[in-house]
Amino acid sequence: MGILNCTPDSFSDGGLHFEPTDAIQRGLEMFEEGAAIVDVGGESTRPGASPVDAAEERRRVVPVIAELRNASPDTVLSVDTSKTAVAAQALDAGADIVNDVTAGSEPGMFELVAEHGAAVVLMHMRGEPRTMQSDLRYRSVVAEVHSHLVDRAQAAVKAGVPHHRVWLDPGIGFGKDDDGNVALLAALPDLAAHGHPIVVGPSNKSFISRLTGAPVADRLPGTLGGLIAVLGLPNAVVRVHDPAAALQFLEIAVRVHEVSA
């Protein structure tokens, strides 16, 4: 899953694809680089980010999704939003997946996804982007995150979303400390044991710099190291800024894992 941020303030690539023409070009490039999904977002969820109203978020993402769908009708598109109104227009424009960092907290989100026959990514986040890093204490980060995601998955299924279209994301970097992020990556097999596809997004996250000292522009090696956690999982999606590098890494890593397993 390639990350396409149509924002001026995302932590890693804010402003690079803010103009629709730039975003559309980059989305098509990511498909050419091997991305199976392009995830289009119009609101930054970096720590401390301020919210964007629904009208502005729609303005940023819906035309991009519509044009990508027209240009590449057989590809898979995702909209990164927690707003039901934005998701509705994005699905009408051609999105196949709603990637919701609040795990479907806004009323009507699950029913909307079910009505469109779409998939939904449920991510764990404590609080909201402005506050999520203010309290990083957990009794057991793995147990609490997994319990929350399973509860939200059950709610989605109850609302009519098929089990296999409910994907779970532990929310690496969203309200966790460095040890918590590493523990959640290591525990991905336990999360996958609940039978839902798994999404994981360590790409360019700040914990890589804290653990390695790398500046944000040099976090690709740490990102690839984080992807090791998905090896052996039956249904896993990695959400990354650089699909070409991730695909090359995983092609070799999977081959080695299969031989050594």
Catalytic residues: 205, 239
- Ranges of beta strands (E only) in 157-210 are 166-169, 198-200
CA 166, CA 170: separation in Å to the nearest integer?
13
Instruction: Count Cβ atoms below 10 Å from residue 236 Cβ, excluding itself.
Output: 18
Please give the single-letter amino acid code of residue 246. A
Residue with tokens 């026959």: 117
For residue 112, give the H/E element and its range: helix 109-116
| Angle, CA of 47, 52 and 56, to the nearest 5° | 145
CA 178, CA 214: separation in Å to the nearest integer?
14
Closest CA to 95 of 124, 123, 64: 64
Q: Is the torsion defined by CA of 43, 212, 145, 231 positive or negative?
A: positive
Cβ distance 198 to 169 under 8 Å?
yes
- Residue 139 corresponds to which tokens in the numbers above? 């009794």
Residues in a beta bridge with 166: 120
